[in-house]
Amino acid sequence: MKSKFPFLTVVVPCYNEEEVLSETSSVLRSKLSSLIENSYINKQSKILFVDDGSSDSTWSLITKLNQSDRIFGGLQLSRNQGHQNALLAGLLEATEYSDCIISMDADLQDDINAIDGLIQKYLEGFEVVYGVRNTRKNDSFLKKSTALFFYKLMLILGVNLKYNHADYRLLSKRALIALSEFKEVNLFLRGIVPLLGFDSADVFYERKERFAGESKYPLKKMLGFAWEGITSFSVVPLKMVTAFGFAISLLSLLSLFYVLISKYFGNAISGWSSIVVSIWFLGGVQLVAIGVVGEYIGKIYKEAKQRPKYFIKDKLN
């Protein structure tokens, strides 16, 4: 059992969230007040908004919140670095003074009331507590199908992901310190957190519709995020390219035998169709293979440079 009254920080990455920030801050403020009154968390617990280089008035709103109530803290990145880097920045910033941290999105789709369950599991001794969606009834058929395909594909590729879990989770200080040891530039936190290996538990909740504004993850960005996860945690695509290359080579040998036998029996038919088709097919396979290999080389290139993941422009509280 963990000691009671842990210092909790709720980390909320924000990118152009001016339409939802007022409501999000109000709801989170009420939730933390309730937890403090019921002796679940330390009365000094915080809400940390991380501005990921927003181009709207997000940072101005965070500044006003901080001035009106010291429960709100702010972290402003020097430019837009992407959701995963912004989230990591908030986690590492809050690790120094927090006993545990809950990360969640600013759009209020994650059920605020599930925080009670996350804290309860932490008090029971779990170092990592996942917020897991119990259904996907609010998703479109396309989004539901692609999500299911993604999780199954990651499982086939040997990547251990929590099904129907995004970035709504609680991490203990011990887990956060372990997380800070991962130095990779290509971040995919959903894949890294299970690698920590600490005792974990699930808290199920109903995901809601976005309160206001537009989703920051359209289909194109979601597919890119999925590809990032696949190539960051599995080399199976490279092995598939190799296997496919051997299969094409075998088919080429069989075709060669067929051509030689046809020529021997005088049944060879001159024509360009089969040649053109085979050239285009093999050319396409080669380009795909080069592209997959190039993706991995690109990741190695980024990792080798060891550039900083982000720069902090300003801090509040």
DSSP letters, the chain, are -PPSS--EEEEEEESS-TTTHHHHHHHHHHHHHHHHHTTSS-TT-EEEEEE-S-SSSHHHHHHHHHHH-TTEEEEEESS---HHHHHHHHHHHHHTT-SEEEE--TTS-S-TTHHHHHHHHHHTT-SEEEEEES--TTS-HHHHHHHHHHHHHHHHTT----TTEEEEEEEEHHHHHHHTT---SS--HHHHGGGG---EEEEEE-----SSS--S--HHHHHHHHHHHHHHH--HHHHHHHHHHHHHHHHHHHHHHHHHHHHHTT-----SHHHHHHHHHHHHHHHHHHHHHHHHHHHHHHHHHT--S--EEEEE-
Spatial distance between the Cα atoms of 156 and 13, rounded to a whole number of angstroms: 31
Taking Cα atoms as reference points, which of 63, 46, 97, 75 lies closest to residue 310? 75
134 inside domain: yes
Spatial distance between the Cα atoms of 144 and 60, rounded to a whole number of angstroms: 36
The pLDDT assigned to 140 comes to 65
Taking Cα atoms as reference points, which of 317, 256, 315 lies closest to residue 59? 315
Q: Are residues 270 and 192 part of one domain?
A: no
What tens-digit pLDDT sequence spans the chain (317 residues)? Answer: 566 789 999 999 999 999 999 999 999 999 999 999 988 899 999 999 999 999 999 999 999 999 999 999 999 999 999 899 999 999 999 998 999 999 999 988 889 999 999 999 999 999 999 999 887 666 666 666 776 677 677 777 667 778 788 889 999 999 999 999 988 877 788 888 988 989 999 999 988 775 555 555 555 666 666 666 666 666 667 667 767 776 776 666 666 666 667 666 666 556 544 665 577 667 767 767 777 777 777 777 777 777 788 899 999 97
The pLDDT assigned to 295 comes to 74
Taking Cα atoms as reference points, which of 81, 73, 92, 80 lies closest to residue 32? 73
Q: Are residues 142 and 69 part of one domain?
A: yes
271 inside domain: yes
CA dihedral 119, 129, 85, 91 (to 10 degrees): 40
Q: Are residues 192 and 93 part of one domain?
A: yes
Q: Are residues 146 and 50 part of one domain?
A: yes
The pLDDT assigned to 284 comes to 65
Where residue 82 sits, what CATH number does that domain have? 3.90.550.10
The pLDDT assigned to 165 comes to 83
Number of domains the chain is built from: 2
C-beta contacts of 198-201 below 8 A and 24+ residues apart = 198/126, 198/127, 198/128, 198/172, 198/174, 199/125, 199/126, 199/127, 199/128, 200/126, 200/127, 200/128, 200/129, 200/130, 201/121, 201/124, 201/126, 201/128, 201/129, 201/130
The pLDDT assigned to 166 comes to 82
Q: Are residues 73 and 201 part of one domain?
A: yes
Q: Are residues 169 and 244 part of one domain?
A: no
The pLDDT assigned to 207 comes to 81
Q: Are residues 312 and 283 part of one domain?
A: no
The pLDDT assigned to 303 comes to 73
Taking Cα atoms as reference points, which of 80, 73, 81, 85 lies closest to residue 44? 73
Query: For residue 117, what are the domain limits?
Result: 8-212+308-316
Spatial distance between the Cα atoms of 167 and 232, rounded to a whole number of angstroms: 17
Q: Are residues 74 and 164 part of one domain?
A: yes
The pLDDT assigned to 189 comes to 87
Query: What is the pTM (predicted TM-score) of this model?
Result: 0.73
Q: Are residues 244 and 204 part of one domain?
A: no
Q: Are residues 164 and 42 part of one domain?
A: yes
Q: Are residues 184 and 119 part of one domain?
A: yes
219 inside domain: no
CA 85 to chain centroid = 10
36 inside domain: yes
223 inside domain: no
225 inside domain: no
3 inside domain: no
Q: Are residues 163 and 49 part of one domain?
A: yes
The pLDDT assigned to 272 comes to 46
220 inside domain: no
